[in-house]
Amino acid sequence: MFARQLSFNRQLSGFSSQTDQQFDKHASIAELSALNGGKPQAETVPKAAKKLPTLLAARKWVRVNQQGEAHVAQADKHLRHHLQQALGVQLRDLRILDPALATSYPSAILVREKALVVNLEHIKCVISTSCVYVLNADDENVIAFIEELQRRLALVAVQAPPLEQAPGQPPDLQKPEALHPHDEMPFELRVLEVALDVVCSQMERLTGDLEAAAHPALDGLTQRVTTQNLERVRRIKNRMVRLTTKVETIREVLEKFLDDDSDMKDMNLTAREEEAAERASSLSLQRQSLGMDKPVFKRKSTGGHEQLPDGSEVPADTDSSDSDSEVDEVEMVLEAYFMQLDNTYNKLQTLCEYIDDTEDYINIELDSQRNQLIRIDLLLTAATFCASIISVVTGIFGMNLNNSHEDSYPAFIATASVSSGGAVVLFILIVLYCRHKKLLSFV
């Protein structure tokens, strides 16, 4: 019976392994095979791959195109070559995206030749003009970001207006989504907007949760100072410090771009590519019109125009309006989320001030209790000093000396009364002196 059960388990394990292999074959994606050079992956990891960094050795990327379609891509030399050669992303930029080095590299947005390297908390991706590569797709927050990105990209693709329209027919004003500014934005700015939206929403949600937990803890500490209440406030303060650092870092990144128009212009990758294409086409047309094979060099005239070799002049500020529109497009995206982050940062600062005020109140209350203990100690010290006088008198008369008062009861009463009365009078004098010096204000 045991042998039969063992053979059945072996057959079942073999069937499951075959099923897993078939599932892995069907789960392979065309994009992954293209990035791998059309060759199947080896079952064992080569020794050269073990020498690569952690990011390139065992990380998986999710590639999302403009239509919102997601494909899984294994991080290998083909993907690294594509990122470096086609997009201009270097290996040091990929180290910034490594989740294992999240504590070493803070949040940042890097502008490269044909890509944006985005490291915003849990969102780590490389954005180009046609697709986005997202890292660390096993995280729940990253999965939520990918789903939101797919939803918005698919929504834009579905709601795209028709390319052709009958002549004389007015535009369809009943569909405001067709004229939505978000649909006209370049792909990289749409992805960046989704990333900023997800990160800012998460920071705001964490701030709300922190406020909801902080106020009851601070109120409980105000009512009663205990070790448990102090520990709760300490944990909340640590959470607040970490969250404030994250929000402030992202806020400084956005503020840095908003302060520099050239950086914002460089973030518009689509406009840069179109501008480069227009320059190349205009240069080729000028060569054809002038019958020249060499590059045409422009020189600036005195009237603020550019003069061509044939004597014609072109205004120098023809592209100024286009440049302003490119900067404004990026500025509108960054400014909206900068204001949201600034509001979250102000909430955290308000909460920090509330915690500081509570700590000051607790310190004042503890100082008051400490002063009361000092006053009580002063009274007890004065009483002990006065009582010691009676002990001195008792010790003097209690010595083994022969005098005429050992057997006299009236002498005993007089001595005890005088010493006790003197001690009480001295204690009253000490209390009155302390009140005169405002040392015992509660008496």
Rounded to two decimals, the pTM is 0.67
Smallest CA-to-CA distance from 135 within 78, 197, 54, 52 is with: 54
Task: Parse the chain into domains and list their residue ranges.
Answer: 24-159, 368-436
Exposure of 170 by Cβ count < 10 A (0-12 exposed, 13-18 middle, 19+ buried)? exposed
pLDDT category at 161 given cuts 50, 70, 90 is low
Res 361: pLDDT: 92
Res 292: pLDDT: 53
**CB of 413 closer than 8 Å to CB of 383:** no
Q: What is the pLDDT of residues 250-264, one digit of tens each?
A: 999 999 999 988 888
146 pLDDT above the threshold of 70: yes
48 pLDDT above the threshold of 80: no
- What fold is seen in the domain 24-159? Lipocalin (2.40.128)
Instruction: Assign residue 438 a region (left: φ > 0; alpha: ψ between -120 and 50; beta: otherwise).
Output: left
Q: What is the mean pLDDT of the chain?
A: 75
pLDDT category at 179 given cuts 50, 70, 90 is very low
For 242, phi then psi, to 5°, come to -65, -45
Res 158: pLDDT: 65
- What is the C-alpha to C-alpha distance for residues 350 and 342, in angstroms, rounded to an integer? 12
319-324 CB contacts, 8 Å cutoff, 24+ apart: 319/275, 322/271, 322/275, 323/265
Distances (CA, A) of 107 to 9, 50, 343: 51, 28, 19
Question: How many C-beta neighbours within 10 Å does residue 4 have?
Answer: 8
In the predicted model, what is the mean pLDDT of residues 113-128? 90
What's the per-residue H, E or C state across 99-149? HHHCCCCCCEEEECCCCEEEEECCEEEEECCCEEEEECCCCHHHHHHHHHH
20 pLDDT above the threshold of 70: no
Query: Would you state the torsion angle of the CA atoms of residues 232, 237, 243, 248, taken in this order, to the nearest 10 degrees?
Result: 170
Tokens 């006299």 belong to which residue?
Answer: 408
